[in-house]
Structure 1
């Protein structure tokens, strides 16, 4: 599967899980819930998703370094 899709889906999933856990713990203010989920999931993804981030970075670097030839 495409590394960018895997990383993006993992980040969204981690955000959703964090949002659900904080809501179950009693955080009911919607703005505070979203901000806290964003911060916590961002920190967690930095630690937990390093392999996916590296794979995505390699894939993007390869695309930038070797663009497709254009037919003229």
Structure 2
């Protein structure tokens, strides 16, 4: 695994893996952001936040797999 990258803004490689390891990867790369873990389909307020990453997972799937690329915002 590569080292932390404070300029990183997206994590396409975590799509399809369980949410917990995805959060660990994002936190490793960007410990400066707050990570929100949400079931896919959750309504969220619009607006950009440079210190937030949302991880959407499949709540119907037993492993809670990430369903879309987490991005800063």
Alignment TM-score, normalising by the size of structure 2: 0.25
Alignment TM-score, normalising by the size of structure 1: 0.26
Of the two, which has the highest radius of gyration?
Answer: 1
Greater relative contact order (Cα < 8 A, sep 6+): 1
Report the structure, 1 or 2, having the larger strand content. 2
Report the structure, 1 or 2, having the larger helix content. 1
